[in-house]
Amino acid sequence: MSELERLYEEIQPKIYAFFFIKTSDKSAAEDLTHDVFYEAIKGIHSFSGKSSLQTWIFSIAKNVLRKYYRSKKYATGLHEKLTLDVPELPSSPEDVYMMKEGHVNLVHKISSLDEVQKEIITLRLYGELSFKEIGELINKSENYVRVTFHRAKLRLQKEMGLNHE
pTM, entire model: 0.56
Query: How many whole angstroms separate alpha carbon 94 and alpha carbon 129?
Result: 33
DSSP 84-142: ---SS--SSHHHHHHHHHHHHHHHHHHHTS-HHHHHHHHHHHTS---HHHHHHHHT--H
Residue 93 — very low, low, confident or very high, per pLDDT cuts 50/70/90? low
Query: How many whole angstroms separate alpha carbon 144 and alpha carbon 136?
Result: 11
pLDDT of residue 152 exceeding 50: yes
What mean pLDDT, rounded, does the chain reach? 77
Domain ranges of the chain: 1-77, 88-165
CATH topology of domain 88-165: Arc Repressor Mutant, subunit A (1.10.10)
Query: How many whole angstroms separate alpha carbon 29 and alpha carbon 105?
Result: 20
pLDDT of residue 148 exceeding 60: yes
The model's pLDDT over 29-45, given as tens digits with 9 standing for 90+, comes to: 899 999 999 898 888 88
Lowest mean pLDDT among 21-25, 71-75, 79-83, 131-135: 79-83
Q: Which one is the CATH code of 1-77: 3.90.1200.10, 1.10.3720.10, 2.60.40.10, 1.10.1740.10?
A: 1.10.1740.10
Examine domains 1-77 and 88-165 and report if their fold is the same: no
What's the count of helices (H) and strands (E) in the chain, helices before strands?
Answer: 8, 0
The model's pLDDT over 80-89, given as tens digits with 9 standing for 90+, comes to: 443 333 344 4
The model's pLDDT over 97-144, given as tens digits with 9 standing for 90+, comes to: 455 555 566 777 787 888 899 889 888 887 878 899 899 889 999 999
